[in-house]
Structure 1
Amino acid sequence: MVKMVPILLSLPLLLGPAVPQGTQDGHYSLTYLYTGLSRPSKGIHRLQGTVFLNDRAFFRYDSEVGKAEPLGPWRHVEGVEDWEKQSQFQKARGEFFLETLKEIMEYYNNSNGSHALQERFGCEIQNNRSTEAFWKNAYDGKDYIEFNKEIPAWVPLVPEAQNTKQKWEAEPVYVLRAKAYLEEECPATLRKYLNYSKSILDQQDPPSVVVTSHQAPGKNKKLKCLAYDFYPGEIDVHWTRAGKVQEPDSGGDVLCSGNGTYLTWVVVHMSPKDSAPYSCYVQHSSLAQPLVVPGDAS
């Protein structure tokens, strides 16, 4: 069985010395997301972990490969991380994580079937100041336990998690170590990563916009406005009728497009007798001024 104390106490050695505080503008986050499975299926490994800087996948680890591997533009960034040391840490942490999954299954008397444990933790900074930290586990898709750094303590979210709380708080150092990680080491690590990553995270890709219309016989005309290939994901896309904002009939969600950018769309329906002008309005941080595309642009 992998002990929790060595895993936690190894963090300072892994993270290295604190990074001197420089000027960091804007809002940035570092998020670790792990998923462990009791019965992995073909193509899905027993343990998978992905680390994100803001909303961009930074590196991943899975139990099959056994290595921490940089992703996307970080494949070409030298010095951002000691990947051999990171791989060793991820392996040790993964063993502890899977052991925790086994224990939780016992608490629920779940000896059969496939079960999953997920964990999400990390921190955020804004203008170089730590603003938020989080650490929560979920079992089979339901919240299980979370860490409250203000108490500080592990807070059970279901009765079975009381067992995990008792184990993780058997020694006061466990709780203090988790608090120190969230409040000090995680922000320091994020600042270190930003020394190599700020230009990547600050990129601005303007949206491409396409307006289409479709009308079936005897039906209202459907107007669709699609915005795609934009980054970051915050965007305002809506329809106007004679200059007044219209509630969409569908759409509005912002989705990952798979290439590091985002896409979204909104749809409205208009009566064939409606002669008022419709326009799609698009506002994004990469644009000097909003795009306004007429509804009859198709």
Structure 2
Amino acid sequence: MNHIAVLLFSLGVCAVHCGSHTLEYHIALVSSPAPGVPQSTITVYIDGLKYGKYDSETRRARFLTPSLSSLTEHLDMQTKYAQRFEVIQKHKMAFLTGYLNRTYGNGDFHVYQRRFACELHEDGTVSGYEEIAYNGKEVMMFDKERVVYVPVTQEVLTMTQQWNQHYNDAKINKIYMENECIHYMKMYLPYISTDLERKVHPEVKVSSSESVSGTKLHCRVYGFYPRDVDVKWIKNERDEIYSEEAAQILPNPDGTYQIRVSVEVTPEEGATYSCHVDHSSLAKPLAVCFEPSDRLIVYIMVAVAAVLSFTLVALGIFAYKARKKKGLNKMTEIAFGKATTLPVTH
């Protein structure tokens, strides 16, 4: 049963790195399915191309690229594997919930995620990885060298030990990772080579929003393929502005990707801000300048006026106190007979 379940990993997600290929799959289960959100899903890719999917509503594995449509018998076999694999993963989610509900609780709604990958490198060597998460937090990972699952934090140490004893499928997963997974990857690649060479240039939109601490500039890059992209904000055409927010590349329903990079700035008179995008579909990096809207200009003018008004008020108060203090000192000298001259009165 475990071996059958592991074969499902032939439905996977891939990323290209220096001529290598990666087959990776994402499994997700939710404790309480909702309309449009199946209880179980398996989304699959090769080299960043989403090529297959299975969900508990249709209970069918399906190819998402026409180039693989001729592999009908193989798809039927994958459907059977997926149906059996889904049952096993439900048991594993229940196992995690029993241990982690208090530690990683999320009310009555829980999410189990699993990511498995095999990698074929340019020199012919193979590798891979596996990660398991619960309610959005990674709890275990597969140690391929020791052939065992290891905890990500000490608080799940006992649970991970129980997991290894209860399921005991680490050796099977390693065998699959280095053999069957690579075999299926090589089988798919000739069919989808044209799809993998597809390049879609990104669309870029810049905008801003106001916060208590200042102005936030947003650069949204969307509709691009393949996945790898470099996005950064540049001030005055030379200084990179580093973002404190971690930007994530997210998939779109059509197989392309999107990302948003935001930075916080204090607008300066004469300063320019531009979003620079570098992607394999572009002949040269793309720079999109941020043009402040009339509303933002008003905000800046109001801010400058407020600072100027505050400065003038502060100077006025300072001058008033200085004059008042000088007058009091003079009166004190008169009262104690220390003044050398008397004030002239009219």
Q: Does 1:55 align with 2:48?
A: yes
SS of residue matched to 1:98: helix
* CA offsets 1:161-184 (integer angstroms, 9 cap, x no match): 322211223xxxx44322111112
Give, in angstroms, the shift of residue 87 of structure 1: 0.3
- Cα 1:279/1:230, change in 2 over 3 Å: same
If asked which structure has higher relative contact order (CA below 8 Å, sep 6+), I would say 1
Q: Does 1:164 align with 2:155?
A: no
Q: Does 1:46 align with 2:39?
A: yes
Give, in angstroms, the shift of residue 245 of structure 1: 2.0
Letter in 2 for 1:93: F
Tell me the equivalent position of 2:133.
138
Letter in 2 for 1:166: Q
Residues 230-239 or 189-198, more deviating: 230-239
SS of residue matched to 2:78: helix
SS of residue matched to 1:30: strand
* CA offsets 1:72-128 (integer angstroms, 9 cap, x no match): xx1453335621111011111111211223344455688x94444322111123326
* CA offsets 1:218-265 (integer angstroms, 9 cap, x no match): xx9876655433222333333444431231578783444443323445
Superposed, which structure 2 residues align to 1:37-116 within 5 Å?
Answer: 37-71=30-64, 74-75=65-66, 77-80=68-71, 82-106=74-98, 113-116=108-111
Q: Does 1:186 align with 2:184?
A: no
Q: From 143, 149, 152, give the equivalent of 1:148.
A: 143
- Cα 1:206/1:147, change in 2 over 3 Å: same
Tell me the equivalent position of 1:19.
none
Tell me the equivalent position of 2:238.
244
Letter in 1 for 2:162: N
Greater Rg, structure 1 or structure 2? 2
Rounded Cα–Cα distance in structure 2 between residues aligned with 1:257 and 1:184? 31
Rounded Cα–Cα distance in structure 2 between residues aligned with 1:213 and 1:65? 42
* CA offsets 1:106-165 (integer angstroms, 9 cap, x no match): 55688x944443221111233263453112323344434332221122334511232221
Superposed, which structure 2 residues align to 1:266-285 within 5 Å?
Answer: 269=265, 271=267, 274-275=269-270, 278-285=273-280
TM-score in terms of structure 1 length: 0.73
Rounded Cα–Cα distance in structure 1 between residues aligned with 2:131 and 2:180? 18
Letter in 2 for 1:78: S
CA contact (8 A) 1:47 1:62 kept: yes
Structure 2: segments with no counterpart, 5+ residues: 11-16, 294-346
Letter in 2 for 1:92: R
Higher percent of residues as strand: 1
Q: From 2, 24, 27, give the equivalent of 1:4.
A: 2
- Cα 1:195/1:94, change in 2 over 3 Å: same
CA contact (8 A) 1:156 1:165 kept: no
Letter in 2 for 1:100: K
Letter in 2 for 1:235: V
Higher percent of residues as helix: 2
Give, in angstroms, the shift of residue 284 of structure 1: 1.9
Letter in 2 for 1:133: G
CA contact (8 A) 2:243 2:261 kept: no
- Cα 1:212/1:60, change in 2 over 3 Å: closer
* CA offsets 1:22-77 (integer angstroms, 9 cap, x no match): xx972332112212234434443332221222333221112221110122xx1453
TM-score in terms of structure 2 length: 0.64
Residues 247-256 or 184-193, more deviating: 247-256
- Cα 1:245/1:233, change in 2 over 3 Å: farther
Tell me the equivalent position of 2:343.
none
Letter in 2 for 1:187: I
Rounded Cα–Cα distance in structure 1 between residues aligned with 2:111 and 2:215? 46
Rounded Cα–Cα distance in structure 2 between residues aligned with 1:258 and 1:64? 18
